[in-house]
Amino acid sequence: MDGNGRWATARGLSRSEGHKAGSRAVRTVVTRCRELGISHLTLYAFSQENWGRPKKEVGFLFDLLVSFLRDELPAMERENIRLSVFGDISALPMAARKALDHAMARTARNTALHLNLALNYSGRADIVQACRRLMAAGTSEQDVTEELFSSFLWTAGQPDPDLVIRTSGEIRLSNFLLYQSAYSELYFTDIAWPDFGSEQLDEALHAYAMRSRRFGRTEEQKQS
């Protein structure tokens, strides 16, 4: 969800105003996914590299997260949306951890849309922590399979992403679901995240629908 700061700067606003606008875009996109019957949505909200930003901005981001969860929890419960987190949340501020734990507990039985927030997340760290957990479990070399390895990732129990969308003109994965995105379709747009709404999501989904996903097979094999 890139471009909050640049969106604000272009309008003579503070970066904080850009992040607020970005949170409104989250609400719009989640609502549209719910309308379309999309079952899983993952939002890359805060990477491990984001700790390098100014402390004031980092603090504001987590305050905004707490406010967002407080304001949106009734809607998540009403719309049957389940919240989960990918990443190491132990390093997050206490207020953010409490708000996340509360929201996850309250929505744990919901089934219509599985909303994942990638927080203090790194694709490489995800792979490393999975390896460490495999070793700690005493798993033998012969027992390691892709399926078993996937069960030790932060995304365990959820499907790999079909489509990865990146906004604001950035054309790279930036450490997002590196293992899980091996066969994902990638979609890049110059539109900044605060301007990414229902229409833009529909355009991305249309582009996805026009692609042929063969997973290594030929087109003839796919059609047979």
Residue of 78, 69, 66 whose CA lies nearest to 34: 78
Write down the catalytic residue from 2, 4, 120, 126: 2
Separation between Cα atoms, residue 54 and residue 35, nearest integer Å: 37
**Burial (CB count <10 Å: 0-12, 13-18, 19+), residue 207:** middle
Separation between Cα atoms, residue 9 and residue 74, nearest integer Å: 33
- Contact at 8 Å (CB) between 91 and 14? no
Token code pair at residue 69 = 């969860």
Write down the catalytic residue from 4, 50, 71, 126: 50
| Residue 2 appears among annotated catalytic residues | yes
- Residue 163, H or E segment: strand 163-166
Token code pair at residue 113 = 């849309």
Amino acid at 64: L
- Residue 25, H or E segment: helix 15-36
Q: Which residues are catalytic?
A: 2, 50
